[in-house]
Structure 1
Amino acid sequence: MQTRYGVHPEHFRTFTTDQTRDEFLAQNMMVAGKIELVYSHYDRFIFGGAMPTSGPLELPNDDDLKAEYFLERRELGVLNLGDAGSVNVDGTTYQLARFDCLYVGRGSKSVTFSSNDGGKPAKFYLNSAPAHKEYPTTKATQAEANRLELGDDEHANNRVLYQYIHENGVQSCQLVMGWTELLPGNIWNTFPPHTHERRMEVYLYFDIPGEELVMHFMGKPTETKHIAVRNFEAVISPPWSIHSGAGTSAYRFVWGMAGENQAFTDMDAAPLSTVR
C-alpha cells in the first residue's frame, strides 16, 4: 500500500509538474491479478483497485493500519467497473455486474474479490474511510442509484451522475461514492469548479478511449495547476483544491469523498471570475 501525505496550499504553489503528479496522481489502479491500494493522509482515505484473474483476491490488512483486520475501524465501498464478478464478505457472496456497488460495513473481517470469468475480469474500484459505527453491508445496482442530469451541450458539460453511497441512499458513516458519465460531445466535469473544506475527494478516471486523455485541474481557484490523466488513473483532491477536468473526448469517472459531513450539495463555489 502506497502512502500519500498532506500538502499545504502555499507549498503546492511551488510544485513542478513532476512533483504535482508524484503527490496527487495514482497510476495503474487496475493490475491483473493484484490489489493496488493508496493511503491518503487527507481524512485517512484509502482507494485502489482489485482485478482478479487467475483466482480470488483477499483484501489485505496492511501493517500500517495497526488493526486486526482491514475493516476493524473502517468502512468500504466497492464499484465494479469491469465484467461480472463477486465479493464475498464473511461467507456471504454478492454478485456484482458492471456498475453495481457494494457497501461493506465496519467489523467485516474477510472480504474476497472474484471474477466470474478470469479471461473477462471484474475491475473492482475500492474506497475506504474510517468508521465510528456499523452499517449493514448493502448492494445497490445502477438502476437503484440516484440519477442526476447536470450541465448542457452549450457549455460542453452535459453529464449524468449516479449516486450510490450518500445521505439519501446506501447509508455509511462518512463515505460518499458514485460515478459520473460525460455524454458524447461533452468534455468538462465539475466546471464552474468548487471546493469543500469539510471533506476530501478522489476521482478515478476510466473509460477514456484509446490514446485520449483528461486534463485534470486542481489547486486553489486563484492558483491552479493541471495533471494529464490516462485511463484508470486517480487524482487526490485536498479540501482546499478545486477538482475538475476537460477531456479530449467523453469519459467517465468515479468520485469518492470522506470528511466532516455527507451533504453532496455542501460546496464552496468558485466563480469563474476568481479562477486563474
Structure 2
Amino acid sequence: MLNVQTRYAIDPETAKTLDTQGLRNHFHADGLFQDGQINLVYTHYDRLIMGGVVPGSGILVLDHVKEAGTPTLLERRELGILNIGDAGTVSVAGTIYEVGRGDVLYIGMGSGPVSFSGPARFYVLSAPAHRTCPTRLIKVEDARRVELGSAETSNKRVILQFLHPEVAESCQLLMGYTQFAPGSVWNTMPAHLHDRRMEAYLYFELGPDQRVFHFMGQPEETRHLVMANEDVVISPPWSIHCGAGTGAYTFCWAMAGDNVDFTDMDMVAMGDLR
C-alpha cells in the first residue's frame, strides 16, 4: 500500500500566524512507519520526498509516485535509504543489497523500481537529480565520523556522514545521522541557517515517553514542535533547525538544494535568538 501526503511551501510571514496545530500540519509528520505500507511526504521545499517503508512479512515495491510526474519515481530522481530496524534487503535493477541497521543505501537516477523485504524499517529520502551517480551501499563502518561537543555543554555527539562528497557521490542529496552520548541532548547551538538548502530531520531511538523539542522559525521569531519517536520535521530554508531532548537520541538529517557543501551554514549568534 502506497500513501502520499503533500506539504506546500509557505513563507515565514505566514508561518508566524500559525498556532501549534497549524505548524504541525505544515512541518510535522508522524505515523510513517506502518507494517506493510509505504508512507511518503512530498514537500514543495526543493521537492524532497521522505517516508517510511516497512515490508513486514511481504515485499513492497516503490515505483510510480503520481506526485513526481514521471512513469517511475527514479526516472528523474535519486534515493537514499536508511535502515532503522532489523536487517532487511533492497533489490535494485537486479541486484540485491543486504542493508543492516544503521546502513545507508544510495540509489542513482534511472534505476527503476525498488523492492523492499525483511524485518527492517526503511527511511527513504528522494530528491530531484540531473545526473546519475553510482548506486552504493554504505555500511556504518564506512561512514565519515565527526565527533563534536562535550558533556559539559550537554551536546557530546558524533555525526555520521553517508551521502557526503568525502564518502559517497550523490547529485543533490546530502544524508547522514547524528547520535548523542548519554547525558547530552542539545543540537545544534549556536543555531544556523542555510537559505540555499532545505532540510528534514527524522528523530528516532527515543523511548515511548521521551520527546525532543525541535526549534524552528526565523532567528527573531522562533517556535517549537514536540517530536516523538520516528517523527519527521520539515525545515524550510528560512528556518533555524535545532533541538533539545529529554534524553539522548538520534536523528537523521537530509538536505537538498543548491549545493552539497555540508559546511555551508550561516551561523546565528545566541544573542540574536528570540
Q: Does the pair score TM above 0.5?
A: yes
Structure 1 position 108 matched with structure 2 position 111:
yes
1:163-178 correspondence runs (5 A)? 163-178=161-176
Q: Give the 3-state SS of the residue equivalent to 1:261 in structure 2.
A: coil
Q: Which residue of 2 aligns with 1:181?
A: 179
Query: In 1, distance between residues paired with 2:69 and 2:260?
Result: 27
Matched AA of 1:235: V
The aligned amino acid for 2:233 is V
Structure 2 letter corresponding to 1:7 = I
Deviation above 4 Å: which 4+ runs of structure 1?
Answer: none
The Cα offsets for residues 215-253 of structure 1, whole Å up to 9 and x where unpaired, read as: 000000110000000000000000010000110111100
Residue of structure 2 equivalent to 1:34: 37
Secondary structure of the structure 1 residue equivalent to 2:56: coil
Residue number in structure 2 paired with 1:118:
none
Name which of 60, 66, 77 aligns with 1:57. 60
Identity over aligned residues, as a percent?
Answer: 51
Question: How many angstroms apart in 1 are the aligned matches of 2:127 and 2:65?
Answer: 15
Residue 99 (structure 2) aligns with: 96
- One-letter amino acid of the structure 1 residue matched with residue 205 of structure 2: D
Q: Secondary structure at the match of 2:131?
A: coil
Match of 1:131 in 2: 129
Structure 1 match to 2:213:
215
Contact 2:63/2:113 (<8 A) preserved = no
Secondary structure, counterpart of 2:97 in structure 1: strand
How far 1:210 moved relative to its partner?
2.2
Q: Counterparts of 1:111 and 1:62 in 2: how far apart (Å)?
A: 12
Alignment match of 1:23 (pick from 16, 19, 26) = 26
Aligned counterpart, 2:16: 13
TM-score by length of 2: 0.98
* Counterpart Cα distance in 1 of 2:211 and 2:54: 22
Unaligned runs of 5+ in 2: none
Q: 2:8 touches 2:44 (CA, 8 Å); kept in 1? A: yes
Letter in 1 for 2:43: S
Report deviation, 1:63: 1.6
Q: 1:78 corresponds to which residue?
A: 81
Cα-to-partner distance string for 1:6-53 (whole Å, 9 max, x where unaligned): 110011111100100110001112111111100010000000010111
TM-score normalized by structure 1?
A: 0.97
Residue by residue, what CA displacement relative to the aligned partner does 1:118-156 show, whole Å, maximum 9, x if unpaired? xxx201111100000111100100000000001111111
Q: How far apart, in 2, do the equivalents of 1:127 and 1:255 lie? A: 10
Q: Which amino acid aligns with 2:149?
A: G
Matches within 5 A, 1:254-273: 254-273=252-271
Alpha-carbon RMSD across the aligned residues, in angstroms, is: 0.7
Give, as a single letter, the amino acid of the residue that structure 2 aligns with 1:113. Answer: F
Amino acid of the residue matched to residue 236 of structure 2?
P
Q: State the alpha-carbon separation in 1 of the partners of residues 90 and 269 from structure 2.
A: 42
Deviation at 1:60, TM superposition (A): 3.7
In the alignment, residue 79 of structure 2 is paired with which amino acid? L
